[in-house]
Amino acid sequence: MANIQPFRALRPVRSKVHLVATRPYYSYKPNVLKAKLEDNPYTLLHIINPEFNRLKRTEANSNERFELVKEGYELFKEKGILIQDQEAHLYVYRQTCPDRSYTGVIGGADVEEYLSDHIKKHEATLTEREGVFTRYLDIVGLNAEPALMSYEGSAIIDAIVNSVTQNRPEYEFTTTDLITHELWILSVDESTELATEFKKIEAVYIADGHHRSASSVALYEKYKAEGNHGKGQFFLAYFVREDALKILEFQRLVKHLNGLSSEEFIGRLAGLGTITALTTPRKPLTAHEITVYLNNTCYSLVLDSTRIDENHPTHSLDAELLTQWILDPILGISDLKTSDDIAFVPGNTPFVKVLNQVNDGTFSVAFFLFPIPMSAVKKVADHGMYMPPKSTWVEPKLRSGLTIMDIHD
């Protein structure tokens, strides 16, 4: 079942929500981040970057830095920028982009569901990164960026959510990236009804936020080992129907051809399937077609079926096939996580911008993949396996600070 927990959100006052909520700090260019911190005294970025314009600095990811983050939250509460709901609720959040909209439910995901594999994973986490965020959560005690969860559709859940969204939202604002954000606070009764319906969902899948989820699990187990049973059992999550998610690919750009000439490289690719020079560069039209761009020419490579194990959850994925047949044996890149010779570009990046990184000599070759469907992601997770690195770029990308969970509450 999916145990989704109502919680008492710490959240911005209505008049300042558009100023408080923010994208993750690492998504901003340095000059834009600096301008936001200088010009907006209400942005949550001041909490996340507590030493902006200060001469005295603490070490990054240190306990001292995390204590400053905690103090920043307390200061925003004292100033009345952040308020906390008196009762536990679930929240409906809708994000409307120029091309589509996403509507889902914000609530607490249950660590016990994660441990029993009712919250399914498809990505391996890095122990060091996980440990840093676990310390952060332990010290700060607040979770401001929800993990993105997907679930199979439910007509009753849809009906409850649609009924709620007929009312005026608590928040409604548009950001400079042309996205409109709306948030509704469910009544206690509506929250209970919705949570009951979610219990009928057999499993949910982490679409984005594996490290955030794993860190919350590690903290919960730490508390349990210390005798604090039940403390930290829930972590902030946004639950969206799986057929509403937008799943894009990651492109691969490689700096060299491993000593091969362009002609030799194309010859090696020809041995893997059918390769055709295209008159106009484009992305793949279907799975198992990879388009390759180098020397101002785009090629379509359709892999031979004998090189694809369609029954294997990961060996049937183009991201894995590219590594197995091209990146490793031809270009000498075996570890995508550590190699300095490869870069990954999310599928929402303008196509011509990726081509230009080859045209200007920054990279020698670009590989374009077809997006992986949610059914393939679920197949990997259901088999307890992990996707190849940088396989999916999942939208929506969420703002931090709309609803903040006190994990000690």
Question: Does 64 score more than 80 pLDDT?
Answer: yes
Question: Does 54 score more than 80 pLDDT?
Answer: no
Domain shared by 98 and 211, yes or no: yes
Domain shared by 215 and 129, yes or no: yes
Residue 375: inside a domain: no
Where does the pLDDT of residue 52 fall: very low under 50, low under 70, confident under 90, or very high at 90 and above? confident
Residue 388: inside a domain: no
- Residue showing tokens 């600070």: 401
Question: Are 44 and 144 in contact, with CB atoms under 8 Å apart?
Answer: yes
Question: Are 381 and 161 in contact, with CB atoms under 8 Å apart?
Answer: no
Where does the pLDDT of residue 53 fall: very low under 50, low under 70, confident under 90, or very high at 90 and above? confident
Q: At 248, is the secondary structure helix, strand, or coil?
A: strand
Question: Does 204 score more than 80 pLDDT?
Answer: yes
- Residue showing tokens 């390759």: 292
Domain shared by 22 and 136, yes or no: yes
Domain shared by 122 and 268, yes or no: no
Domain shared by 221 and 280, yes or no: no
Residue 278: inside a domain: yes
* Residue 47 backbone dihedrals phi, psi, to 5 degrees: -75, -45
Q: Number of C-alpha atoms within 13 angstroms, CB side, residue 381?
A: 22
Which has the closest alpha carbon to 157: 257, 33, 221, 244?
Answer: 244
**pLDDT given at position 409:** 85
Question: Does 281 score more than 90 pLDDT?
Answer: yes
Residue 199: inside a domain: yes
Which has the closest alpha carbon to 405: 195, 206, 107?
Answer: 107
Report the percentage of the chain scoring pLDDT > 90.
90
Question: Are 212 and 124 in contact, with CB atoms under 8 Å apart?
Answer: no
**Both tokens assigned to 33:** 């981040």
Domain shared by 148 and 222, yes or no: yes
Question: Are 173 and 18 in contact, with CB atoms under 8 Å apart?
Answer: yes
Question: Does 22 score more than 90 pLDDT?
Answer: yes
For the chain, helix (H) and strand (E) counts, in that order, are 13, 21
- Residue showing tokens 């070759």: 365
Give the DSSP letter of residue 54. -
Domain shared by 218 and 345, yes or no: no
How many structural domains are present in the chain?
2
Q: How many whole angstroms separate alpha carbon 319 and alpha carbon 249?
A: 9
Radius of gyration over every alpha carbon of the chain, rounded to an integer in angstroms:
23
Domain of residue 306 covers: 250-370
The overall average pLDDT reported for the chain is 95
Question: Does 57 score more than 90 pLDDT?
Answer: no
Residue 384: inside a domain: no
* Choice among 57-66, 103-112, 250-259, 318-327 with the minimum mean pLDDT: 57-66
**pLDDT given at position 122:** 94
Residue 137: inside a domain: yes
Domain shared by 80 and 219, yes or no: yes
Domain shared by 311 and 347, yes or no: yes
Domain shared by 59 and 182, yes or no: yes
Q: How many whole angstroms separate alpha carbon 367 and alpha carbon 283?
A: 9
Report the percentage of the chain scoring pLDDT > 70.
100
Residue 77: inside a domain: yes
Stated pTM of the model = 0.94
Mean pLDDT calculated for residue range 82-94? 98
* Choice among 47-51, 161-165, 221-225, 350-354 with the minimum mean pLDDT: 47-51
Q: What is the pLDDT of residues 122-169, one digit of tens each?
A: 998 878 889 999 999 999 999 999 999 999 989 999 999 999 999 999
